[in-house]
Amino acid sequence: MIGRLWRGWTAPGDADAYEALLRSTILPGIHRVPGHRGAILLRRDAGEDVEFVTLTFFESLGAVRAFAGADHEAAVVPHTARRFLARFDLRTRHYDVVLSPDGR
């Protein structure tokens, strides 16, 4: 399994709306991608902004490419999300999952 890590930052006043968009639209949309195996959403107050970290799981790099395209390390950030983001990682990082919360 592959873990795909990405970070984005919002102004504090946009954080709740951005989280709501992630929960209601963006993350459920990724669940429809073949080979998607779930996601973890992290949030923290980082002083002048709010940092969000998404860790999405895919069964293989092929599944990641089905989601992200040929340049699978490019961030996939829908326009609806960009309006809330002050900045974000343009590139993602991928990891082999060696231990997951369910013990696999």
Mean pLDDT per block of 10 residues along the chain (104 residues) reads: 97 98 93 92 96 96 94 95 97 95 76
- For residue 89, the one-letter residue type is D
Q: State in Å, rounded, how far the first CA of the chain is from the last one.
A: 10
0.75 exceeded by pTM: yes
Determine the number of helices (DSSP H) and then strands (DSSP E) in the chain: 4, 5
DSSP label at residue 97: -
